[in-house]
Structure 1
Amino acid sequence: MKDQSQTTTANPPAHELTYRALRDMVLFGELAPGQPVTIQGLVASLGTGITPVREAIRRLTAEGALEAKGNRRIAVPVLDLRQLEQLSFARTQIEPHLASLATARIDAAQIERLATIDDALNNAIQQGDIRGYLEHNHAFHSELYDAADAQILAGMAAALWLRVGPSLRVVCGRIGTQNLPDMHDEALRAMRAGDAAAVAAAIAADIAQGHAHIRADLSPE
């Protein structure tokens, strides 16, 4: 799920760096769902000019990761249950398929990189490091999906993560990282065995676990 520009230039322009920085603020929950922020506030936070910030906002709004709130304010959209069900359907169709495609192409070195990322994720869970958990969880999936060499599907998956990431951050803040197990060990074992169906099943279960926590957080008492 890497940006195409990230793979084509070693020195991306300022507007691309600003986009990535703001995207990560959304993806890893630095901007809480519904929390309004101003363009000037983002300029100050990101330490860049107003033009690249406006461009980053435009791109992320088009991707559904931000929405205009009026008075020159923007916010991360607040998920509702109906939207979550749509995201669950899309993710469980696209991401397990990417994982299956990746299994046919992945080599031993790539699997070990995934294992290293998962070790860091497990350490973040043990340490209660929410940001570390979110970053390493995203990195694991991103690395795996990139191995599929299916740019259209990987781009769709990246956009879906932008919709879900902020709500997952809210859940982590409520229940802590210890209650967010993943299915990465199962996926890694299946990758080493070359079992594409089992890798896909592990990723589907991983998505379902995370969405179940978000669903519980969104559901009325």
Structure 2
Amino acid sequence: MNDTTAAPLEATQQDAVYAHLRQWVTVGRFLPGERLKIRNVAAELGVGLMPVRAALQRLAAEGALVNVPNAGVAVPRLSVAEFDDLLQIRMLLEGEAAERGAGRLQPEQVQALQALCDRMAQSLQQGRRDDYLAANEDFHVILYRAAGSPTLWGLIDTLWLKAGPISNQLFDTPASAPVLNDAHEDVMKALKRGDTAGVRRAVEKDIFVAGQFLRARLRAA
């Protein structure tokens, strides 16, 4: 294989590995403070060390990970003040995206949201946290991207990178599971009423309620 063919293939693999790891960070696959070992990540993805190293450094440049001297990269820990700031900005931006998106959803998208809402309820009942987090991400992606604003979506996506690692700790508090899907059900009720402002309030409630559980975990730590 000549160099002109190898270079695009290598770049494509690096992009694929980056996208995969970025999604893992966003849904809370890695926990705050966790060190990511290149060899272990490469083995799990079934790829070589170089694309993983490049992807991890790219995520560190975005602030999703931090470089640790002589120890590779790790997931950053948020202070309470940093978390509070992140929570307020998320409520502001995601509330705006939700209200805009609610007015532009197609019927098939509303059906997809209902299916995801039902899936989240079932995942919570069965204690399947990874499936809940994956369905939760899909739910919000559909709603926010319907707003039709790449700029707004890009800002939200960046914030998710910072919020993702701590989101897994939602399930460390038993009291959270019974209420985590309430706001999603409120979103569906508001959509059926054609109440876009109600969708915004429901999304803000979703972020706020989850945030209180996570904030309590941060303070305890």
Residue in structure 2 matched with residue 198 of structure 1 by the alignment: 198
1:37, 1:73 within 8 Å by CA — same for their partners in 2?
yes
Counterpart CA distance in 2 for 1:176 and 1:65 is 28
The answer to whether the 8 A contact 1:65-1:77 is kept is: yes
State the distance in 1 between where 2:43 and 2:201 align. Answer: 43
Aligned length: 210
Unaligned runs of 5+ in 1: 1-11
The CA deviation string for residues 59-78 of structure 1, in whole angstroms up to 9 with x for no partner, is 31132211111225111101
Partner of 1:166: 165
1:110 is matched with: 109
Matching of residues 51-62 of structure 1 within 5 Å? 51-62=50-61
Single out whichever of 175-184 and 203-212 deviates more from structure 2.
175-184
Task: Pick closer, same or farther for the CA change 1:31–1:118 going to 2, 3 Å.
Answer: same
The amino acid that maps onto 2:171 is C
> Residues of 2 paired with 1:18 and 1:45: CA distance?
11
**RMSD (Å), alpha carbons:** 1.9
Alignment of 1:1-221 (within 5 A): 13-175=12-174, 178-182=177-181, 183-220=183-220
1:166-221 deviations in whole A, cap 9, x for unaligned? 11202314437624423011111112222111110000000001111110101148
Q: Whole-Å Cα distance in 2 between the matches of residues 181 and 77 of structure 1? A: 25
- In structure 2, list runs of 5 or more residues that go unmatched: 1-10
Percent identity of equivalent pairs: 32
Q: Distance in 2 between matches of 1:62 and 1:214?
A: 25
In the alignment, the residues of structure 2 paired with residue 46 and residue 19 of structure 1 have an alpha-carbon distance, to the nearest angstrom, of 11
C-alpha separation between the residues in 1 aligned to 2:168 and 2:49?
27
Change (3 A) 1:132 1:180: farther
**Equivalent AA in structure 1 for residue 68 of structure 2:** K
CA distance in 1, matches of 2:50, 2:164: 26
Question: Is the deviation greater in 108-117 or in 189-198?
Answer: 189-198
How many angstroms apart in 2 are the aligned matches of 1:83 and 1:110?
34
> Given the two structures, how large is their TM-score scaled by the length of structure 1?
0.88
* TM-score (ref. length: structure 2): 0.88
Change (3 A) 1:45 1:150: same
Give yes or no for contact 2:102–2:191 (8 Å, CA) kept in 1: yes
Return the letter of the residue paired with 1:213: F
Larger Rg: 2
Equivalent-residue separation in structure 1 for 2:12 and 2:105 (angstroms) = 31
Secondary structure of the structure 2 residue equivalent to 1:105: coil
Q: Alpha-carbon deviation of 1:49? A: 2.0
Q: What is the CA–CA distance in structure 1 between the aligned matches of 2:207 and 2:177, rounded to whole Å?
A: 17
Distance across 1 between alignment mates of 2:120 and 2:178: 13
